[in-house]
Amino acid sequence: MTRNSGFRALLGIAVMALIGATTGCGGDTGGATTTGPIKVGVPLALTGPAATVASWARMGVEMSAAEINDAGGINGRKVELIFEDTALDPTKAVTAINRLINQEKVELIVGPMTSDESLATLPTTTKAKIPSINGSGSAITPQVAPYSFAMLMNAEHQAQKMVEVALDKYGATSVATLNYSGTQGKIGGAAFIKTLQSHSMKPTATQEFKFPVTDLTPQLLTLKKSNPQVLLSFNNTGDDTGRLVLGLRQLNWNVPVIGSYATTFATQTKGVAGPDAFANLKSVTWSAFSACDKAQIRPQATDFIKRAQARFDATRLKDASYDYMAVYRDALFILKAGVEATKSTDGPKVADWIETKGAEALKSLPVVHQGYAMSKTNHFLMDTSSLALVDAGEEIAPGIFRRLDCDK
């Protein structure tokens, strides 16, 4: 070896060592870059039966990204949203997640929209150690989703609340149940039965339907024959809620109904069953978008609605559900808080912060919803205080519904 070649070799070693030292000083980001935009994957059902709902979620995420970027980004890095279509199909959701992680190199994920999609994709996001907040309403545990949290209302909590209202408000001694056949619906249906058993009761009849559904007459005929005082229904969208209302009318069955998500998907329900669709229907919704009168309306909710109306045109906002939009808006702010607190996009680090410090920190962060209670044992972001039973046909203000407990 010549003197010059020896010098060049030593220089190369020194340069490589310097590069390694510089890389090590950047902090643990879970293998992601620390420069340029921070990529956020957003897998949504942009086509298919839930495309309208996905458009609300998309506006929520777009709103949070714009607000975060206007304030300087996340740790000084601008947010770049990358959308992928899942078509509400778990298989397509897995494909979308793989593309986001392996090709787009995303560092955070908001989505997918449903329990079945989320559960199908969790092995992939877990392996990649990507922090995420998904749209599941069921089956999300720290074991199943160590680095992911569910933004929707816990299906079991919803079912428990509906049973309590049937017993307390209506004084029901006989109850029938109906649920859709997806994971969330099955868990909700099982929770109906379990909660009734805790009150030494059992349903007069139970029925299940597949989504999407065009006719609920067979299920409703069976339920009607059991002669319940109240019908509990765990639905998937406003469309099947509308089909439920139509079926009840056709059978001339005026039983009181307590349902899930009716207010969130109110426009869809009215589109199927008409403007008086909620005449005999009460619903679970997010407490942040409920009140007894105008004086009790939370400013966080009304301010959010005003900001959304200022940012998006009337065409995009037509018939939008602001409570659902706000959930997706809040999700990115929660991930932002975890990344900034840990100075990392590493799934274990961000998840640990959300579990141990997130619920307390969110009290002073600009989120719209309330009732946060995630922990080492609970990966649902919100607890039962985030739920309210409302009159789905009575809005105190646009997007704000009257609570059922106002007369207590």
Q: Could you read off the pLDDT of 85-140 as tens digits, one per residue? A: 999 999 999 999 999 999 999 999 999 999 999 999 999 999 999 999 999 988 89
Is 20 domain-assigned? no
What is the rounded end-to-end Cα distance, in angstroms, of the chain? 92
Residue 349 lies in a domain: yes
Q: Quick check: 231 and 255 in contact, CB under 8 A?
A: yes
Say if residue 249 is in the same domain as residue 394: yes
The answer to whether residues 147 and 239 belong to one domain is: no
Query: CA 199 to CA 201: how far, in whole Å?
Result: 5
Number of domains in the chain: 2
Residues 394 and 253 in one domain: yes
| Residue 235 and residue 373 share a domain | no
Residue 275 DSSP SS3: coil
Question: d(Cα 118, Cα 114) in Å, to the nearest integer?
Answer: 6
Q: Give whole-number Cα distances, 24 to 29, 114, 131, in Å.
A: 10, 38, 21
User: Does 1 map to a domain?
Assistant: no
Residues 87 and 172 in one domain: no
> Which pLDDT belongs to residue 26?
34
User: Are the CB atoms for 286 and 369 separated by under 8 Å?
Assistant: yes
- CA–CA gap between residue 160 and residue 154 (Å, rounded): 10
Main-chain dihedrals φ then ψ at residue 50, nearest 5 degrees: -115, 20
Q: Is residue 11 part of a domain?
A: no
Enumerate the H helices of 25-114 as residue ranges: 51-70, 90-102
Secondary structure (DSSP) of 159-223: HHHHHHHHHHTS--S-EEEEEESSHHHHHHHHHHHHHHHHTT---S-EEEE-SS-S--HHHHHHH
Residue 78 belongs to some domain of the structure: yes
Is residue 32 domain-resident?
Answer: no
Cβ-Cβ contacts under 8 Å for 349 (sequence gap 6 or more)? 28, 30, 342
Q: Same domain, yes or no, for 71 and 142?
A: yes
φ/ψ bin of 171: left (φ > 0), alpha (ψ from -120 to 50), beta (otherwise): left
**Residues with Cβ < 8 Å from 354, sequence gap 6 or more?**
131, 149, 334, 338, 374
User: Is residue 121 within 8 Å of residue 150, measured between CB atoms?
Assistant: no
pTM listed for this prediction: 0.85
Q: Is residue 238 part of a domain?
A: yes
pLDDT tens sequence for the chain (408 residues) = 444 444 444 444 444 443 444 333 333 444 445 679 999 999 999 999 889 999 999 999 999 999 999 999 999 999 999 999 999 999 999 999 999 999 999 999 999 999 999 999 999 999 999 999 999 988 899 999 999 999 988 888 889 989 998 999 899 999 999 999 988 899 999 999 999 999 999 999 999 999 888 999 999 999 999 999 999 999 988 889 999 999 999 999 999 999 887 778 888 888 899 989 988 898 888 999 999 999 999 999 999 999 999 999 999 998 899 999 999 999 999 999 999 999 999 999 999 999 999 999 998 988 999 999 999 999 999 988 888 888 888 889 988 999 988 865
Predicted local distance difference test score (pLDDT) of residue 346 = 98
Same domain for 148 and 191, yes or no, is: no
Q: In this structure, are 395 and 251 located in the same domain? A: yes
Helix axes 183-198, 115-128, angle to 10 degrees: 110
List the CATH number of the domain containing 262.
3.40.50.2300
| Beta carbons of 217 and 162 less than 8 angstroms apart | no
Asked if 262 and 278 count as a contact pair (C-beta separation under 8 A), the reply is yes
- Asked whether the bond before 43 is cis by omega within 30 degrees of 0, the reply is no
- Domain ranges, residue 135: 38-154+306-385
Q: What is the dihedral of CA 364, 404, 285, 363, to 10 degrees?
A: 10
Residues in the chain: 408
**Residues β-bridged to residue 177:** 206, 232
The answer to whether residue 393 sits within a structural domain is yes
